[in-house]
């Protein structure tokens, strides 16, 4: 029996644009350098996630590490980055090092 060619899918007439770009990487990898440059090129706002977390917590990142430990900070970082509350509309967001590991 001869195979019939499948019709090609129609391209999406209005592809969705990303609402944010999240830069991840180890300390010193260049997120704070590349993020503002990328945001400027895209006409977006650069948001440093550490600044957002510090404002929300009322404490510095160092204080959060000392009080609650790195795993708790990473969870907070992940939740803040994944938040869809509008904190990061059209923003290039810099995250500190990595997402928390699942155990």
Distance in angstroms (rounded) separating the CA atoms of residues 45 and 34: 13
Distance in angstroms (rounded) separating the CA atoms of residues 30 and 23: 9
Query: Cβ of 100: how many Cβ atoms within 10 Å?
Result: 15
User: Which domains does the chain carry?
Assistant: 20-94 (3.40.50.300)
Distance in angstroms (rounded) separating the CA atoms of residues 31 and 38: 10
Is residue 18 within 8 A of residue 89, CB to CB? The reply is: no
User: Given this model, what pLDDT does residue 2 score?
Assistant: 59
Query: Cβ of 91: how many Cβ atoms within 10 Å?
Result: 21
pLDDT over 70, % of the chain: 66
Write the pLDDT tens digit of every residue in 51-94.
888 998 999 999 999 999 999 988 888 888 777 655 554 455 55
């Amino acid at each position: 029996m001869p195979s019939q060619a499948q019709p090609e899918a129609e391209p999406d007439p209005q592809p969705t644009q990303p609402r944010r770009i999240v830069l991840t990487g180890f300390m010193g990898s260049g997120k704070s350098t590349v993020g503002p440059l990328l945001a400027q090129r895209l006409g977006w706002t650069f948001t440093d996630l550490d600044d957002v977390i510090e404002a929300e917590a009322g404490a510095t990142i160092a204080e959060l590490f000392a009080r609650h430990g790195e795993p708790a900070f990473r969870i907070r970082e992940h939740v803040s980055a994944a938040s869809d509350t509008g904190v990061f509309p059209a923003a290039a967001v810099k995250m500190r090092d990595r997402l928390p590991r699942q155990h």
